[in-house]
Structure 1
């Protein structure tokens, strides 16, 4: 033991001491960074304008550990909104809180300009979609709005659960006031159905809608439903037989409720041909339907998208990577694959 200690020499011990000093410095830096992040989330004493109408958000927050893409107005500086309401001092907010504040200010300004109740169905991440929580928030804002209030639905979503979507469609259908859907970028699948439930759809010039064929067990239900017609029963497993039967039910239900809830403004011939085509039209579920094609379907669509709506649908900022130093021996041995790099810490996201 003594020989090992003395054998390191001055240079060896100096190197070890430098490593420990570096580790201690990194620890202190990360602790101070954590305190700084905590300070950033303190509310800013800037009064917000009172909206003329209530504004609701149906954005579902994904679990911690999910990073999000960056967007404008989140650099921690004062940002001038294009609604004429003046600058917002973001210097005391975290990037995510600053983004949230900017989006809410834009939504409030849009509601004031339109004299409407704004309902946001906005999803950015892969595990965000129309679900039960989305339905509850949407139903509550619609049922508490004045009976003749104009509802503006801002959509940016990949789709969602059929039963939750049907609840939102039912609430929209029973509302007597005008309903307008705004799709600046995308409203696929269930989002397309929500848009079709409105009297008018306003799309960005490059925005997309999509087919509304149900997906069952991660497979397109119309194709899965035909399995029993393509193969004899003795060549199909019990599990696939059950899935095929359930897919047939899903397609039948989708045809019925999509036809029931589509707004008359999009039924040029008064039939269910449009929704049936969007379910069984032979298109891939991710097929993009641009405004020009949607207009050819007979949908009541315009492309005069207000700039504020583009701002409302901007994604939150990405997180900053954090340096991670391991004190364990990670030296690669001969013949072994290199060890994977540690994943960066992800920030919590806001609702």
Structure 2
């Protein structure tokens, strides 16, 4: 047998050996994966986790998120749908879907415990605020319940558009049943006005309300209204003169309808002079009004006996790596929908909008 033929046989033999080794490695890897899936329990659903501090059947959102991410081997196998899906399909539960279900569970438990209609006005991101969609949601909820039904509003918002806020205030004033506002963390600006329209305000011990002074974009209307008196007309351009006059009008309108929609339970000796303090009192728009100041200085009908469920309802969605979010959107067919929603929200933030309470 010549040298070339011998080299060829050795080459084919080596290739065959490599193929056999690769096949054995793949078989071993698959066996290890199957064993890992059998050994790993899935995350516990928040509704089943519960704690002594939380309402029965509810756990903290943070604990549930950690459970969903860890798949700890130290816990027994759960019998929940997420565990079955993970074992059968090999995919962990979507943290956003888990969060959504947990929030809905907290809402249902809170509404059932208080036998009330529940409205939530919750904003986490910088491009979320009280807008006309918020007004439509509140109005529709109120018109689809009994006129005297008790209503609970969970507020977590930085503020919003004045015209949308006024629609909400008008709808709340027309409702005949008792309305209670729950502020676990913050209800600033327009959120403060919505709280003041309710019979009672329940605040977390560290929750804050805020001034309701009008804003033109990033400029306080009060300062803008004083521009023409602080500078001579020849030193102010035409646009700023117009804005200054509009700001004066906005201040007058804010003082008028802020008092109009404040519930009688928050008026001291039948008056609502505190609204002037919140509008032209000289406080920065970001000034935090804690429960003690709200109760003792502004005489608001404030309670700090906050149940646990509003805290759960206001928990933000999980924060993950942006590339992972894009990957999840592509996998679930949500990429275009989410992108369109983000673009729509961005376009809605017009700098020229007059926002009396934001």
Give the TM-score of the pair, scaled to structure 1.
0.68
Distance 1:90 1:300, change over 3 A: farther
Q: Which residue of 1 aligns with 2:301?
A: 300
Distance in structure 2 (CA, Å) of the matches to 1:89 and 1:277:
54
Following TM superposition, by how much is the alpha carbon of 1:246 offset from its aligned partner in structure 2, in angstroms? 0.9
1:302-338 deviation line (CA, Å, top 9, x unaligned): 0000011100000000122539xxxxxxxxxxxxxxx
1:14-93 equivalence runs, <5 A? 71-75=62-66, 77=68, 89-90=81-82, 93=93
Query: Offset at 1:73?
Result: 2.5
The alpha-carbon deviation at position 270 of structure 1 amounts to: 1.7
Which aligned pairs between 1:278-297 and structure 2 lie closer than 5 A?
Answer: 278-296=278-296, 297=298
Match of 1:271 in 2: 271
1:73-93 Cα distance to aligned partner (Å, 9 max, x none): 235649xxxxxxxx9755554
CA distance, structure 1, for counterparts of residue 82 and residue 214 of structure 2: 43
- In structure 2, the partner of 1:182 is 182
The 8 Å contact of residues 148 and 178 in structure 1, kept in 2 or not, is answered as yes
1:227 is the counterpart of 2:235: no
Question: Higher relative contact order by CA 8 Å / sep ≥ 6: 1 or 2?
Answer: 1
1:1-351 superposed matches below 5 A: 71-75=62-66, 77=68, 89-90=81-82, 93-296=93-296, 297-322=298-323, 348=338
Per-residue Cα deviation, 1:6-53 (whole angstroms, up to 9, x for no partner): xxxxxxxxxxxxxxxxxxxxxxxxxxxxxxxxxxxxxx9x9xxxxxxx
3-state SS, counterpart of residue 118 of structure 2: strand
8 Å CA contact 2:147, 2:177 repeated in 1: yes
Task: Tell me which protein shows more helix as a share of its residues.
Answer: 2
| Change beyond 3 A, Cα 1:237–1:100 | same
Alignment: residue pair count: 256
Cα deviation for residue 272 of structure 1 reads: 2.9
C-alpha distance in structure 2 between counterparts of 1:89 and 1:193, whole Å: 43
Distance (whole Å) between structure 1 residues aligned to residue 272 and residue 309 of structure 2: 34
Tell me, yes or no, if the aligned pair for 1:75 and 1:95 is still in contact at 8 Å: no
Paired with 1:88 and 1:255, the residues of 2 have a C-alpha distance of 54
For residues 299 and 120 of structure 1, do their structure 2 counterparts lie closer, same or farther at Cα, with a shift above 3 Å needed?
same
Distance 1:90 1:256, change over 3 A: farther
- Distance, in Å, in 1 between the alignment partners of 2:275 and 2:80 is 44
Q: Give 1 or 2 for the bigger CA radius of gyration.
A: 2
Taking the aligned partners of 1:274 and 1:211, their CA distance within structure 2 comes to 10
Name the CA shift for 1:133/1:164 in 2 (closer, same or farther; >3 Å).
same
Q: Kindly tell me: are residues 319 and 192 of structure 1, through their superposed partners in 2, closer, same or farther at Cα, counting changes over 3 Å? A: same
Match of 1:326 in 2: none
> How big is the shift at 1:301?
0.1
Once the two structures are TM-superposed, the CA of residue 149 in structure 1 deviates from its matched residue by 0.6
CA contact (8 A) 1:77 1:90 kept: no
Residue ranges of structure 1 left out of the alignment (5+ in a row): 1-43, 47-69, 79-86, 324-344
Contact 2:68 2:95 survives alignment (8 Å) = no
How far 1:256 sits from its partner (Å)? Answer: 1.0
| TM-score, length-scaled by structure 2 | 0.67
After superposition, the Cα gap between the structure-2 partners of 1:254 and 1:114, relative to the gap in structure 1 and judged at 3 Å, is same
Shift in CA distance, 231/124, structure 1 to aligned 2, threshold 3 Å: same
How much has 1:209 moved relative to structure 2? 0.2
Which deviates further from its counterpart, 213-222 or 304-313?
213-222
